[in-house]
Structure 1
Amino acid sequence: NLRVIAVGEGRNDEMFDFGWIEDMRTKRRIWQMDYRKTTHAGGADKNRQAEEVINFAPGTYTLYYRTDDSHAYRDWNSRAPYRPERWGIALFPVDDDKPKGLHVLPGIPRAPEIRDLPNENVVAQIIEVHDDEHIRKTFRLNRETLMMVYAIGEGDDEMYDYGWIENRNTRETVWRMEYQKTEQAGGADKNRLCRETILLPAGEYVLHYLTDGSHSFEEWNARPPRDRFNYGITLYELERH
């Protein structure tokens, strides 16, 4: 058992600065700082705190925290919370002693810039996607591989043009382009960019990209993203384990 304490920003049942915990093997979120779990953290009403004891099964987990572009540690646009140094997310022992068998591993490296990756690192790619398409590409990994997902799509609180990765044998979705993982991609606000580092076990996978009936490559109904020619999804190999 570990105690998670997270402090962030939210209002009207929505979080803007928040954390979550993901099972590294299954990619499933086992905990997330949802607004309904929070209480007032002092200062401005939008300062929120979540505290909960979580029972972890044996395994490897990743701790995440995401912020928007305003009201953060030492960059407040309203009154700071009572304990500003806790802005973020942390795990603590429930008792004073560190639990046996607990090891903190080096963090997954931040996804590099796409310009820093050579074309030969591309494992699978679906780009220049038009309206009303669902394109699939199959790929195989012979060993556990650290990869970068680079995806551009359309979204506004939810995604309309987006990609995902599916295990071909189990049909399980092992990664999905969710709105909260994205940032603005230039042009219209609804252009969204996701650049994330993931670790995939050996196996056979299917890369998917789905678009709705408007705003896609060369069929824009608003300003296009900066990197319009990569509208879609690309997987880059970073290293093999």
Structure 2
Amino acid sequence: MLEVQSQDLLRRPLAQIEPPNVLDLIALHELPESPKALKNALAAFVQRVSGEIVDIPGGKPWLDFLEEFAVINGKHVPETFRACIAREAERGEARAPERTRAVVAHWALEEPLPFLLGAANTRFVTVHHPPPASSPNASSPRERAPRAERAAAAPKPKAATTDDSERRQWITDMVLERVAEAPEAGLSEPVLLAGVKHRAKDLFPTLVPADVLSVLRELKAAGRIRGSAGRWASIRRW
């Protein structure tokens, strides 16, 4: 069951995983007795997450990220993650070194607990997948309705509203701001998506990654930004 619960999380970018689950996966990676079937995936996950943390822009995006983990009791923060954040404190003022060191010091008040294997101790949220189309439980009364009836009931495409236009313009402005602040190597797509979504949580709470990706493609086609190998940057950088 542990493998089933964790495999889905291991494939997700940092921005799509709840902070406690991120820490659980890193703690599981540190455990010598971690399942053999997960060892390589866990190692790759830790390496990828470390890279995504490095890619987080300085200033408010960094502080927003840091505060999500600062509230977690130190006993649930593994050494690998502590060391990763401690290194960021040495990268200059953009990483708010005083606050970053204070968070690491707060965690240091508690010894990290090892990840406990066993069904009773597993902390991951089970991922429920929909049944396959061939499953007898997969169909609903709507799906069993005649084709003509389903076609008649299908909703018509919704016309763009003023709110949609405002949201798209807001995403455009935010993307351009983020890539302008990105390091020379550009900004990784998961980090960019996470930053925009975080800033939108009060103004546009229903915003989803697909909204941002649509704007990214439009800006790239217009020659206003460039994208390559999962990274995005201002047109002047590459």
Instruction: Decide: shared fold, TM above 0.5.
Output: no
Q: TM-score range by the shorter chain?
A: under 0.3
Q: TM-score, normalised to structure 1's length?
A: 0.25
Q: TM-score, normalised to structure 2's length?
A: 0.25
Larger Rg: 2
Higher strand proportion, which one? 1
